Structure 1
């Protein structure tokens, strides 16, 4: 079974041999009552990576370690700041399937083989607080590293210090400890990890995909702005993949939003990026988002209907309503989960990851990519905005009913695309792009709640039919259906005002310059 923990740590250059001033300084750190020596241990870790070191490039590591209390396989994934997530499984001779899958978005299916061996003799001290709780541990490692590739063994040796927070310790303790160490002349290490230093010290390198951006992209251009935003969304997809595989809360939703953002911007900025390259990527992103749709939609719908049950007076909940909802949710969730994992393990997904990597490293720029953002980007945004305006005008002319529901759903999709198209322009266009995006988001929110009500009513009808067939009362299902109908009507009344705010002529004029 895979175990997960969050580790927050900083690495420092090693103290001079025999100099214990740093230890005396640590006893003066606010909140530290004592420094307790725990002794030493020998650790032996073999780091695995692809031939072109894709994990290392993504600031991730996979190692098989023996020695110490946490011997096993460790996959470390970057988190913001000084933190990383460490996923552990028990020792085995080969890379565990669980960790191989969790690393897949970074390896893109390339084989994982031993790259570097790092052996350490570690001495550990605990920083102990007033209630005898361990606040952090300070380790000094004597490290010996060797490359395991290239036919010739290359050795390197160094000493380093590491400070790792204990669970639930205030991160401010790290700053206090660092201040104390600096008083003793100990600064941050030049490398973020042992592996990073081992790779440099041993000279281990591998051929990598050429980066064509430096010679193609004009700094500060429209192409530069769009590509930086595309980079961010690709990194988001890669980072969220392990969370989706582990079914962590909100991970599927955020993953699908990143897919939609990429699809929208690759379409809207065809004047910047060649559509012959980006259109197939957009199709694959659409496929991927669709494969994960059931999981997210069912999650949203279950929360909405569960809230109806909780809010309803007890005397109006007739029959096994909660139980039937739970059975519906469990049955559908299992199928949606299977479909999600099948998609993430498919050849098509791996090919998409490769295409996204190539897109960011060798961008297919068009001539207009070199133009100033203030020239190229407003046109793309206004084109999406005009498409939204046309759909809103059509919808607002329709009476309530199925045709209106469909028209509002199409307007909602156009609102998302318009909003996402403004996002790469926030840095260069500033206020006008941000204001338009904010007001379109308000319209999107009204349209989204309306669509959720449409989907909820369809599901409620199906549940009512199933309940009737089983001889259960249908009253409560009809009650909920009526509430959803009223909620949709309320959103339809709110929509003209929200759209008037987003379609204010001055917004368009300011964006157009």
Structure 2
């Protein structure tokens, strides 16, 4: 990815054409003001025709002129901060400006999906930059005096002109911004009413961000609010993590996979509160996404587990090229899984899933049961999950040790996980009880997760390790030894599970 950038921290102010500059030397820590530098800037802003990026407070532009010409993507973070990511300008063989770089387009794909990005505004700015210099010669911040002309390129074309000031941090503390804002306020100059130049350029066509009504679950509120709060939280996780997965950020696949699991579990637990056809479709599609994420995540977990096994073994007991064989196999499988995941994230199927989840959060097709008192409905639904867990554990206890027992324990783990997620959604209704159930279910999930990881590791050591080594004529002793160690780990994990189960609340 050819993108780079950093965190942008700035404040904008509306000023009239004749407003004089404030005495910037009066700001704390400012020792001097550098000679002003003037730039002529032109920026073309890109969005979908229905302004999806603007609705999400995201700006994507191609700028020419100045010392930061190129593609700029600004993503919102906490209040007053935006993460700014850059990519270089390129031209095609005809000398025309390039399309949106793939490196940036991937970062907004979760919002635009398969809708094309088009120019929506052109903004020309004459900018005079005043650098605020600190005692050590460092640039604390810059004040930009901008005279702007903007043309809206979509809907009914329109033009508007204005003047504004921006104070942007460079190497100084945020106190500089606070002091600058106070200094300007003393002269009657207030923060801009517009979040960005693009918002002002779009005028009456700019999306007005209506924060969706927070359906907060409360003991006296409807049961549907418990469901919707749980769904909205996980949908937000998907939106935040999608760009991270595409950039291969550590932990992003795991967080996204957990979100899909939580979504499926919440929909299963609260299925009586939603149109059953919607639940069925969404659980199927979320399951597909979870599978694609799981292939990548499981390989990462397996790779670390096998590497740990090898590192703990005495070199004298590692006969043949076992480490190289296992690492090569893991790398190949990881590459295959990551390629399949990226392909899935760029598919129409994934985009339609996101559309369906957004629609569910915005206009949920709730049943009459969703309007009933949460204190009555939710405990009953969680008790059902308890019963399903008990049945799964009883079945595992009756199953003969071996592959069938492993499958039964894995089924019990999934039931424990669903109980845990259900308890978490009920936390606002009964904190102590919900926390107790959550802790117990999470303990079962963790112990049985270790047991299941051992099953997966043994399968790799036997089928894709020892058998392949045997067919190559290589020594298979180490594969068998590691397999036996994993078998013992699985037995220990199962013993811990039964002990924990005997102490269930």
TM-score w.r.t. structure 2 length? 0.88
The 10-residue stretch of structure 1 (47-56 or 128-137) with the greater mean CA deviation from structure 2: 128-137
Aligned to 1:469: 471
1:112 deviation in Å? 1.7
| Residue matched to 1:483 | 485
CA pair 211-174 structure 1, distance change in 2 beyond 3 A: closer
On the 8 A contact 2:392/2:411 being kept in 1, the answer is yes
CA distance in 2, matches of 1:500, 1:118: 68
Equivalent in 133, 141, 160 of residue 146 of structure 2: 141
**Out of 490, 493, 496, which is 1:494 matched to?**
496
Partner of 1:192: 195
Aligned residue number for residue 18 of structure 1 = 20
Partners of 2:21 and 2:318 lie apart in 1 by 73
CA-to-partner distance for each residue in 1:201-251, whole Å, 9 max, x for gaps? x2125799x999799x99943222321321221121122212212222111
* Preserved contact between residue 11 and residue 192 of structure 1 (Cα < 8 Å): no
What is the alpha-carbon distance in structure 1 between the residues aligned to residue 238 and residue 160 of structure 2?
Answer: 37
Please list every run of 5 or more consecutive structure 2 residues that lacks an aligned counterpart in the other structure.
90-96
* CA shift in 2, pair 1:478/1:203, >3 Å: same
Once residues 146 and 418 of structure 2 are traced to their aligned partners in structure 1, the CA distance between those partners, rounded to angstroms, is: 52
Give the Å deviation of 1:397.
4.5
Q: Could you tell me how far 1:20 is from its partner in structure 2?
A: 2.2
> What is the rounded CA distance, in whole Å, between the counterparts of 2:311 and 2:33 in structure 1?
52
* CA root-mean-square deviation: 3.0
Q: Residue 408 in 1 paired to residue 398 in 2?
A: no
Shift of residue 330, structure 1, vs aligned partner: 1.9
CA distance in 2, matches of 1:19, 1:205: 30
CA distance in 2, matches of 1:315, 1:348: 51
Write the deviation string for residues 47-101 of structure 1: whole angstroms up to 9, x where unpaired: 1111221111122222111122332222322334544333333323323344333
SS in 2 for 1:225: helix
Report Cα offsets for 1:118-167 as digits up to 9, x if no partner: 2223333445566655555443433332311223313142303132345x
Partners of 1:414 and 1:192 lie apart in 2 by: 46
- The number of equivalent residue pairs is 490
Partner of 2:182: 182
Q: Distance in 2 between matches of 1:37 and 1:143?
A: 22
Residues 1:304 and 2:305 are matched in the alignment:
yes
Matched, 1:99 2:97: no
Distance (whole Å) between structure 2 residues aligned to residue 137 and residue 474 of structure 1: 66
Moved more, 301-310 or 87-96: 87-96
1:319 aligns with 2:305: no
For the 8 Å contact 2:149–2:159, the answer to whether it is kept is no
- 1:40-439 equivalence runs, <5 A: 40-91=38-89, 92-126=97-131, 132-134=137-139, 136-166=141-171, 173-179=173-179, 181-185=181-185, 188-199=191-202, 202-205=203-206, 220-398=221-399, 400-439=401-440
Contact 1:165 / 1:174 at 8 angstroms: preserved in 2?
Answer: no
For structure 1, the residue ranges without an aligned partner over 5 or more in a row are 505-513
For residues 385 and 55 of structure 1, the distance between their equivalents in structure 2, rounded to whole angstroms, comes to: 43
CA contact (8 A) 2:159 2:201 kept: no
Query: Secondary structure of the residue that 2:57 maps to in structure 1?
Result: coil
TM-score, with length taken from structure 1: 0.87
Q: Distance in 2 between matches of 1:212 and 1:82?
A: 21
Task: State the secondary structure of the residue aligned to 2:495.
Answer: helix
| CA deviations over 1:182-213 (Å, ceiling 9, x no partner) | 255265444433323433xx2125799x9997
